[in-house]
Structure 1
Amino acid sequence: MTARGQIAVGGLGIVLALLIAWAAAGIRIVDNRHVGCRIRLGQIQTRETPPGVHWVMVPIESLATVPIHTRILDYKGVEVLAKDGLRIHMDITVGYKIKPQMACDAYLQYTDIERGLVVPEIRSALRKVASQFHSTEYYERRAEVDARIVMALEELKNPYFEIVQVNIRNVVLPDSVVQAIQRKIVAKQEAERMQFVLEKERKEAERKKIEAQGIAEANRLIAGSLTENYLKWYQIQAIKELGQSPSNTFMIVPYDSGLFPIPTYPLPGAKR
């Protein structure tokens, strides 16, 4: 082979190697947690590239990947305003997913989808729903308020992403609110205690009233049954029992003109 032939073969080999290197440089792999977005001459193509092995024509083409799996945002100390204007801080975890069919549109609009779109949208929705409650409700109705906030975020309508989970880990209220709530709780407990005491006293007064009415009724009945004939009969029976007692051998019993014993009752304090 002549020198010229050798040069031609060598040049062909170099060109072939360069072609292979160029073709290999264009190989891109998209895993199943992402979709690809082709960028051709600086223009983002809105047709998504599915997971798999793909080839792009470098340098005029590139392939950006957009995550479509669930991503977790961990917010700590997010400041929101309550309905009464007081500042509340929340620790909240939010999970979201980019909609696969809208991934390239979102990438075209925001490039950094999480910082440019998702985070501002979630913060805005959180502040909006948080402002619907008074600061005291975050303490007194915590479970209900948390459920409302979670529901509002999960129902957030956005064409590019969806919320899949929300977890409110902690809510920090201003010290003035906490102290006011604690004073309210103490006052409520004291009022309930006083109500219990008053109810107890009322029932005791009713019991005494009923007891007094019973005693008065008994006295009325007894007084109505103590006739003169009954008292004479009762005294005769008492004298009879006394006369039959072995400890008494002599009795003086006064009688009236009708030969009935005259009732005699010892005066209070008199010696028998």
Structure 2
Amino acid sequence: MFETNNSGGFNPKLPRFFVLGFIAIIFLLITGGNMFYTVNPGEKAVIFKRFGGGLDKDLVVPQGFHFIAPWNKVYIYNVKIQEDYEAMEVLSKNGLSIKIDLSFRYTPNVSQLGYLHDLVGEDYLESIIRPEIRSVTREVIGEYLPEELYSTKREEVEDKVFEITSKSIADKYLFLDAILIRDVTLPQTLQAAIENKLRQEQEALEYEFKLLKESKEAERKRIEAEGISDFQRIVTKTITPQLLKWKGIETTQELSKSPNSKVIVIGNGEGDLPIILGGDK
């Protein structure tokens, strides 16, 4: 453990493994924070290998606790469906300025995350998705009149912007989940004119509905009257004087059988029905 030095004293001789262990501890203290990382739920990671060929584009690191060589670098991506908002001013088909607010949902292509990192990088929202949505929205809205955007064509605009933008960013390893127009703001005078026009159109539709309803009611009454008329005509043809006389006789016979009455029947002339003059209870 000890050896004599030139001056006659002793130098402690440390075992080699103590020295190596000490060096290893110092190394871990310096680099330990760079050797471990955690990929949380809703995240994936890619690794840049400094001495191993650079970015491994085909490797997508899953969730969990992982080790990494201290000279390599890890990039962690949020792969959840995320939502963002955009407000802009665009021109309509007739050149009027329109303010539009929309929201959009997006996510990176998880299986191609390494290729996304190599082609675009972590700031893909600001560098790719947002500029593309702005450009396509301006292009699509330029095909419509303000009143169409305000009322009947909003869904159609959403579908067109979504379809064109989705195709544009797909080759950059990005997915678009939805684009929703939240609000369309027109110049105040134009908005008032459109609202007035829509109100008049609604009143016209209500008036047409009332006319149709009255027409159907009149048709129903006409059919009902025709039915009653047909019924009366058929009944009139079947009722003869002989039938009436027979029914009168039957009714008189039934009344005469009542124990609470005294019936006096007197002929009322040739061919006439009997007459009941009275009775006691």
- Normalising by the residue count of structure 2, what TM-score does the alignment of the two structures yield? 0.58
Kindly indicate whether residue 65 of structure 2 is the aligned counterpart of residue 53 of structure 1: yes
Cα 1:186–1:93 change in 2 (3 A) is closer
8 Å CA contact 2:79, 2:107 repeated in 1: yes
The residue type equivalent to 2:79 in the other structure is: I
Match of 2:104 in 1: 94
How is 1:47-126 mapped onto 2 (pairs within 5 angstroms)?
A: 47-51=58-62, 52-59=64-71, 61-75=72-86, 77-111=87-121, 112-126=123-137
CA deviation after TM superposition for structure 1 residue 26, in Å: 1.2
Match of 2:154 in 1: 146
CA deviation after TM superposition for structure 1 residue 168, in Å: 2.0
8 Å CA contact 1:36, 1:66 repeated in 2: yes
Return the alpha-carbon distance in structure 2 between the equivalents of residues 62 and 16 of structure 1.
21
Kindly indicate whether residue 187 of structure 2 is the aligned counterpart of residue 177 of structure 1: no
Cα 1:12–1:182 change in 2 (3 A) is closer
Question: Highest CA radius of gyration, 1 or 2?
Answer: 1
Cα 1:189–1:113 change in 2 (3 A) is closer
Kindly indicate whether residue 197 of structure 2 is the aligned counterpart of residue 167 of structure 1: no
2:145 alignment partner, SS class? coil
Match of 2:219 in 1: none
| Corresponding pairs, count | 190
The residue type equivalent to 1:114 in the other structure is: L
Kindly indicate whether residue 25 of structure 2 is the aligned counterpart of residue 17 of structure 1: yes
8 Å CA contact 2:60, 2:114 repeated in 1: no
Percent identity, please. Answer: 21
2:160 alignment partner, SS class? helix
- Normalising by the residue count of structure 1, what TM-score does the alignment of the two structures yield? 0.60
Match of 2:143 in 1: 132
CA deviation after TM superposition for structure 1 residue 9, in Å: 4.9
Return the alpha-carbon distance in structure 2 between the equivalents of residues 172 and 146 of structure 1.
13
How is 1:34-53 mapped onto 2 (pairs within 5 angstroms)?
A: 34-41=43-50, 43-51=54-62, 52-53=64-65
5+ residue gaps, structure 1, are 200-272
- The C-alpha deviation readout for 1:179-214, integer Å capped at 9, x for no partner, is 432564577689x6xx99xx9xxxxxxxxxxxxxxx
8 Å CA contact 1:154, 1:162 repeated in 2: no
- The C-alpha deviation readout for 1:88-143, integer Å capped at 9, x for no partner, is 111211111111022222222222111111111222222222222111212341xx
CA deviation after TM superposition for structure 1 residue 41, in Å: 3.1
8 Å CA contact 2:147, 2:194 repeated in 1: yes
The residue type equivalent to 2:99 in the other structure is: H
5+ residue gaps, structure 2, are 3-10, 212-281
The alignment yields a C-alpha RMSD, in angstroms, of 3.1
Match of 1:203 in 2: none
Task: Choose the corresponding residue for 1:30, options 39, 55, 61.
Answer: 39
CA deviation after TM superposition for structure 1 residue 50, in Å: 2.3
Return the alpha-carbon distance in structure 1 between the equivalents of residues 46 and 65 of structure 2.
13
- The C-alpha deviation readout for 1:33-80, integer Å capped at 9, x for no partner, is 122121233943322322133322222x100112211111122x3222
8 Å CA contact 1:94, 1:165 repeated in 2: yes
Cα 1:148–1:41 change in 2 (3 A) is same
Return the alpha-carbon distance in structure 2 between the equivalents of residues 57 and 39 of structure 1.
10
- The C-alpha deviation readout for 1:144-185, integer Å capped at 9, x for no partner, is x22113322443212322222333221101224224325645
8 Å CA contact 1:29, 1:53 repeated in 2: yes
